[in-house]
């Protein structure tokens, strides 16, 4: 199975531009599965844009546009999922990942671990998911994770119990002087606990003083392979 790690630079609020970039990559990249970063449809962090219902709706329509362009292959994209809590109830928003296959959304994972420290303020904007998500593709079981899900052991343990063959973690992880090494250590911890290969796809670029470093990587057989360079857009194909 050929998987493309799509380490791209998305812009907060530019739903049309972000979707256009994703669709362009889908059209020119030969891989069975293409993986894009966390909240790549809306950009990270969307913050008070999430207060606007029209913004949430445009985000959802953009996912449908990406799905329509994803023919004969599959992709994983980060977006904002909306759910009403009942008639007249307050809406619930989730930091989510859509697994799209051959034009349709096959599965959605809701981020379970919401960071609320340093530059992160996700508990203010999102509801947490409550379960791990495993989706079948090309004869394998893929466990879906979003950033902080990988930093803590709970979801990885659930993926192991569910028989996942590989974990794919999409991320919008900001840079610090020790961050890339910290990510390596976290992935090794999850490997030591579960023994499942982990693919980590991080975005690049900057937004409101936050810099994203990329450095997407794969942990397999206990060894880290650095697939994409830091601070550069990169579309890298690996074969599992």
pLDDT, tens digit, for every residue of 90-129? Answer: 679 999 999 999 999 999 999 999 988 777 889 999 999 9
Concerning whether 160 is annotated as a catalytic residue, the answer is: no
* Residue 147 is a catalytic residue: yes
What's the pLDDT at 101?
98
Q: What is the structure's pLDDT at 85?
A: 67
Cα–chain-centroid distance for residue 127? Answer: 17
User: Is 28 among the catalytic positions?
Assistant: no
Is pTM beyond 0.85? Reply is yes
The sign of the dihedral angle between the CA atoms of 131, 136, 139, 145 is: negative
Q: Position of tokens 């992935």? A: 187
Q: Please report which confidence band the pLDDT of residue 81 belongs to, taking 50, 70 and 90 as the band edges.
A: very high
Say whether pLDDT at 86 is over 70.
no
pLDDT in tens, 181-223: 999 999 999 999 999 999 999 999 998 889 999 999 999 999 9
- CA dihedral defined by 136, 240, 102, 81, rounded to 10 degrees? 60
Q: What percent of the chain has pLDDT over 70?
A: 98
- Can you list the domains of the chain with their CATH numbers? 2-239 (3.60.110.10)
**Which of 163, 182, 158, 235 has its CA nearest to residue 204?**
235
State residue 194 phi and psi, 5-degree precision: -120, -25
Strand boundaries in the chain, DSSP class E: 2-7, 33-35, 74-84, 91-101, 104-110, 133-137, 140-146, 166-171, 198-202, 204-207, 210-213, 217-220, 223-226, 234-239
**Which one of the listed residues 38, 81, 101, 122 is annotated catalytic?**
38
Residue from 70, 147, 148, 228 carrying the catalytic annotation:
147
Instruction: Work out the mean pLDDT of the chain and round it to a whole number.
Output: 94
Q: What is the pLDDT of residue 90?
A: 66
The catalytically annotated residue of 81, 111, 160, 228 is 111
């Amino acid at each position: 199975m050929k998987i493309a790690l799509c380490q791209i630079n998305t812009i907060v609020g530019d739903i049309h531009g972000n979707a256009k970039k994703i669709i362009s990559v889908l059209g020119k990249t030969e891989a069975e599965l293409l993986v894009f970063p966390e909240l790549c449809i809306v950009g990270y962090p969307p913050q008070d844009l999430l207060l606007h219902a029209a913004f949430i709706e445009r985000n959802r329509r953009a996912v449908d546009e990406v799905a329509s362009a994803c023919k004969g292959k599959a992709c994983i994209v980060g977006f904002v999922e909306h759910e009403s809590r009942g008639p007249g109830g307050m809406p619930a928003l989730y930091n989510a990942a859509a697994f799209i296959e051959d034009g349709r959304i096959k599965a959605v994972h809701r981020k379970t671990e919401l960071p609320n420290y340093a530059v992160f303020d996700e508990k203010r904007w999102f509801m947490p998911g409550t379960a791990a998500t495993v989706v079948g593709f090309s004869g394998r079981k893929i466990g879906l994770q979003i950033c902080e899900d990988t930093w803590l052991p709970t979801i990885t343990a659930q993926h192991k119990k569910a028989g996942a063959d590989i974990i794919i973690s999409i991320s919008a992880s900001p840079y610090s002087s020790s961050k890339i090494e910290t990510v390596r250590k976290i992935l090794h911890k999850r490997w030591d606990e579960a023994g499942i290969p982990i693919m980590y796809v991080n975005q690049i670029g900057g937004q409101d003083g936050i810099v994203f470093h990329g450095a997407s990587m794969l942990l397999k057989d206990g060894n880290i392979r650095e697939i994409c360079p830091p601070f550069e857009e990169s579309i890298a194909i690996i074969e599992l």
